[in-house]
Amino acid sequence: MADVTMTVWRGDPSGGAFSDYVMPSVEGEVVLDVLHRIQAGPAPDLACRWNCKAGKCGSCSAEINGRPALMCMTRMDELPAGEPVVVAPMRTFPVIRDLVTDVSFNYTMARQVPPLAPRAADAPDGTFRMMQVDVTRGQEFRKCIECFMCQDVCHVIRDHEENKERFAGPRMFIRYMELESHPLDTNDRRELLRQRMGLGMCNITKCCTEVCPEHIKITDNAIIPLKERVVDASYDPVAWLGRKILRRTKRSAAEAAADAPAVVAPTSADGPTATATPGVTAAS
Amino acid sequence: MSDHESHDFDVIVIGAGGAGLRAAIEAKERGLRTALVCKSLLGKAHTVMAEGGAAAAMGNVWSEDNWQVHFRDTMRGGKMLNNWRMAQLHAQEAPERIYELERWGALFDRTADGRILQRDFGGHRYARLAHVGDRTGLELIRTLQQRAVAIGIEVFMECKVLRLLKDADGRVSAAVGYWRPSGEFVIFTAKAFVLATGSIGKSWQYTSNSWESTGDGHAMAAWAGADMIDMEFVQFHPTGMVWPLSVRGILVTEGVRGDGGVLRNSEGKRFMFDYIPPMFAAETADSEEEGDRWYEDHLNNRRPPELLPRDEVARSINSEVKGGRGSPHGGVFLDIASRRSPEYIRRRLPSMYHQFKELAGVDITAVPMEVGPTCHYAMGGIRVDADTEATTVPGLFAAGEVSGGMHGANRLGGNSLSDLLVFGRRAGTAAADFAEGRRGSPTVSDSEVEAVFAEATAPLERTDGESPYDIQHDLQETMQQLVGIIRTESELASALGELDKLDERSAAMAVSGPRTYNPGWNLATDLPAMLTVSRLTTKGAIARRESRGGHTRDDYPSPDPEFETLNLVQRVRPDGEFTLDPEPIPPMPAELRALFEEDTH
């Protein structure tokens, strides 16, 4: 049986280095299986997160051969044969130990999302009526398993620690878009997105979409429509005048409901510039 | 005393799956200082793995459905061993718990008229499972997680709780644990505690459970003196993946069968028609044609035998494989490819499609899956009061899989997610009541705290000793081979002997490395709980000399009417001895009993 070489980053906040582990190759294994065999053998204290081992919980994110991936869904036989498999922690988050990083940034940003504010019930028994076509878009975003690989790969924060103060990141943008397109919601989060969540800092390079293990079209279906909504709210002179006259800062329930079918951005292979929206400024 | 951090709350909930989250939400909304403590990151608990749906008799697809029918299905699925009051409350309250999730943002799949769609599942007479494709657990945990965050519940993540400590009056007063990232100790004092720690499946070799399912809550309750009931009942889900070996045990949702998938052996035969038990014969189709018609017309046809309760299907698959009619990798075939269009399969079962495609290189829209039984769920657990989820230890409540009684001898698919919601909420209410009524600050003894610290760090201080991974491996092999799906007296007795040896070995194990995020050390601190629950399961299995639900004895192959009225109650005495006493199940009131005397369809 052939061997595989796993080149795994070991270390803590004070520093670290890659260590090689040569393990027998086993048919059908994923990267996480080999790490588990390393733990059960040469390195019982090798730190990594995992839970479901089936791509459903988003715990085992790492950078495999330089690319963010779930270790439980990356098959060894799909990696280049005969070459070492390099496994490193996600770079955007501070290392705790080995492959485990401090992802609390994401939880901090999640706490700042204004929650769903549902409209009044549709039926006397207090239940709602929503059509499948109206929930399908929100369901796409709710597939998110919070692996945080979209956050990891986002250059706004990957190389700019200082931006974390004012940038929610792709994971949170799909949460915002989910709420914006939720048939029951009456909250308006557009000013928050513009002023404090750094929506404008995204210059739609689509790196987040590329790494999403759930294949959520983060850029096309969430970030670009959000940018359009924010632009409409902030820069549309007619809307501005309407707000002045009517002194309304929130949409009514009826408006929110009418607004439900989300704007679908072009999904063709347009370059980032082709889909750029007026009012968007690049971050870096 | 050694350095440690401490926190004080009114209510502490241990475990942040569905039950823990729901309990914490309730206590917090009552205005109590409430915190959640969980072993992984928030949102990663095992609830996220639930696929098919949450059972609730909303009657959105079949208006004939109601709580009485759901109650009856649940009791029959549990082989009448369920705590009838829990089964009743569950069936009555599940619909409101589902609608509540919708108000909190959940987006379930819809019917044509815009209501929550419901799907068919084994043992349920009507299509009853609210769902989102085949990722319902994710929807449920995310909805509850977002609600918990929105109302400001404090969450202590990646914290392993080792022990519960009581005050001089015998009330639980503290939970002692450590932070996994730093390895530092922490003490949580509170007026009331809710255990919602989930399963025990990690003691078996092939399981759908994650590393977290080490029975922490079961063991901590037992060590604190709580009654444990019916620990012998362990559900082997009929359909886990069998190949490649590295994914063996990963769940394949019952929704595949609910949506039209059938089981075939190596001869291509739908073998489930050969295994219809008398209890379900009146309501099960006896021809393929009738079974196929049932999907469209439930009222004039009987359900296909692939949708019998899980215990029946798992045993049947086991028999086919043992009879030499299995698939190449030791399972049977689950075929939906030849029965439904690729578009339908991808829409209804997206994560199954994804899982087989990426992990096994199998396209389930084109070829059958290979599946076999996998250790999935503990029906037994901490004995609780049906209305309050109070355990027999004051100040301690339990909800979800860690509690026992609700599911009797076998749980129906879909009843777990609704169980979490119904009893999580009830536990939160009762814990809040208890906390409000409790006088004085909770106190703990320093020497007991020190003893917990010392036990936890002992493996780190030994320089030579066995690796906890080797002990875990041997434990899993023992439980798989000797306390698996089919059991017999002599094997169970030898399992007890093996557990004695494993206890001794774990008392001498050694761990290297620091305390900061050290999985070897973390496993060493999980092993005492794994060994305790394994012993409870084995002892219960020896004492129950009959076959019923999730407990099958080769040497006592039939159900015994005498055992039908008995819970096997186990306790761990302060000196560490285990005791077992059969105790009668409270009788069902006449109006509920009458539900079983009416038409049996």
Question: Is B130 strand, coil or helix?
Answer: strand
What is the rounded CA–CA span in Å between residue B18 and residue A38?
Answer: 32
- Flag whether B548 is in a domain: yes
Chain A nearest-CA distance from B550, in A, is: 23
What does the mean pLDDT of chain B come to?
Answer: 96
User: What's the complex ipTM?
Assistant: 0.94
- Please indicate, yes or no, whether residues B463 and B369 belong to a single structural domain of this protein: no
* Tens-digit pLDDT profile for residues B328-375: 999 999 999 999 999 999 999 999 999 999 999 999 999 999 999 999
Give the tens place of pLDDT for each residue, B470-506.
999 999 999 999 999 999 999 999 999 999 999 999 9
Q: CATH fold of A3-101, please?
A: Ubiquitin-like (UB roll) (3.10.20)
pLDDT reported for residue A14? 97
Tell me the C-alpha distance between A49 and A58, whole Å.
Answer: 9
- Please say if the pLDDT value at position A265 is more than 70: no
Q: Which chain A residues are within 8 Å of B243, Cβ to Cβ? A: 28
Question: What would the pLDDT profile of B97-113 be if each residue is shown by its tens digit?
Answer: 999 999 999 999 999 99
The candidate with the shortest Cα–Cα distance to B227, out of B570, B582, B587, is B570
pLDDT exceeds cutoff 50 at A283: no
Q: Which of B374, B397, B423 is where one domain is finished?
A: B374
Nearest to A130 among B114, B139, B521 (CB): B114
> Residue B477's CB: how many other CB atoms inside 10 A?
13
- The pLDDT score that the predictor gives to residue B245 is 87
Q: What is the mean pLDDT of residues A143-148?
A: 98
Helix pair angle (A170-180, A132-142), 10° resolution:
160
Higher-confidence residue of A282 and B326: namely B326
Q: Which residue of B has its CA nearest to A213?
A: B354
Q: What does R_g of chain A's alpha carbons equal in angstroms?
A: 22
Report whether pLDDT(A264) > 50. Answer: no
Q: Tell whether B245 and B368 lie within a shared domain.
A: yes
Domain A104-258 is in which class? mainly alpha
Answer whether B519 sits within 8 Å of A48, measured CB to CB: yes
CATH number, residue B538: 1.20.58.100
Active-site option among B147, B257, B376, B505:
B257
Residue A234: its pLDDT value, please? 74
When CB atoms are compared, the residue of A28, A57, A102 closest to B48 is A57
pLDDT score of B60 more than 60: yes
- DSSP-derived 3-state class of residue B443: coil
- The model's pLDDT over A77-106, given as tens digits with 9 standing for 90+, comes to 999 999 999 999 999 999 999 999 999 999
Mean pLDDT for A170-193 is 96
DSSP codes, B70-107: HHHHHHHHTTT-S-HHHHHHHHHHHHHHHHHHHHTT--
- Rounded to 10°, the helix B84-103/B136-150 angle is 70
pLDDT at A273 over 70: no
The pLDDT, as a whole number, for residue A1 is 60
Instruction: Tell whether omega for the bond before B304 is within 30 degrees of 0, i.e. cis.
Output: no
Residue of B nearest to A78 (CA): B358
Half-sphere exposure of B546 (CA within 13 A, CB side): 18
pLDDT at A261 over 80: no
A132 → closest Cβ in B42, B48, B110: B110
**Residue B354 catalytic?**
no
Choose, out of B202, B358, B475, B527, the residue to mutate when testing the contact with A (most A CBs < 10 Å).
Answer: B358
Phi and psi based region of residue B326 (left: phi greater than 0; alpha: psi -120 to 50; beta: remaining) = beta
Whether residue A269 has pLDDT greater than 50: no
**pLDDT tens digit string along B418-477?**
999 999 999 999 999 999 999 999 999 999 999 999 999 999 999 999 999 999 999 999
Q: Where are the domains of chain A?
A: 3-101, 104-258
User: B245 to chain A: nearest residue by CA?
Assistant: A28
Pairing of strands B34-37, B54-55: unpaired
For position B252, which CATH number holds?
A: 3.90.700.10
Please check whether residue B293 lies inside any domain of the structure.
Answer: yes
Chain B residue nearest residue A35, CA to CA: B519
Whether residues B370 and B253 fall in one domain: yes
Distance (Å) from the alpha carbon of A244 to chain B's nearest alpha carbon: 31
What pLDDT does residue A247 have?
Answer: 54
Q: Between chains, do A51 and B44 touch, taking CB under 8 Å as contact?
A: yes
**Annotation says B257 is catalytic:** yes
pLDDT for A281 equals 34
* Number of structural domains chain B divides into: 2
Identify the active-site residue in B70, B119, B237, B310: B237
**Percentage of residues of chain B with pLDDT beyond 90:** 97
pLDDT of residue B559 exceeding 80, the answer is: yes
Q: For residue B326, give its domain range.
A: 237-374
- Determine the Cα–Cα distance for residues B397 and B23; give it in Å rounded to an integer: 10
Partners of A40 on chain B (C-beta within 8 Å) are 467, 469-470, 473
With CA atoms as reference, the chain B residue closest to A126 would be B99
Whether residues B256 and B357 share a domain: the answer is: yes
Share of chain A above pLDDT 70, in %: 83
- pLDDT above 70 as % of chain B: 99
Which one of A59, A97, A143 has the shortest CB-CB distance to B135? A143
**Residues in contact with A125: Cβ distance below 8 Å, sequence separation at least 6, in sequence order:** none
Which token pair is B430? 């009762």
Residues of A in contact with B360 (CB under 8 A): 28
Q: Is the pLDDT of residue A275 over 60?
A: no
Least confident of A254-258, B245-249, B483-487: A254-258
- Chain B residues within 8 A of A97 when measuring between CB atoms: 181, 516-518
The answer to whether the Cβ–Cβ distance between B42 and A107 falls below 8 Å is yes
Say yes or no to pLDDT of B256 above 60: yes
- The answer, yes or no, to whether residue B176 has pLDDT greater than 60, is yes
Which of B346, B374, B402 is a domain's end point? B374
| Mean pLDDT on A236-259 | 56
Q: Which percentage of chain A shows pLDDT scores above 90? A: 80
Within 8 A of A146 by CB-CB distance, chain B residues are 43
* Whether B246 and A29 lie within 8 Å, measured CB to CB: yes
Do the chains contact at A58 and B44, CB–CB below 8 Å?
yes
Residue B597: per-residue pLDDT: 85
For the residues A142-163, what does the mean pLDDT come to? 97
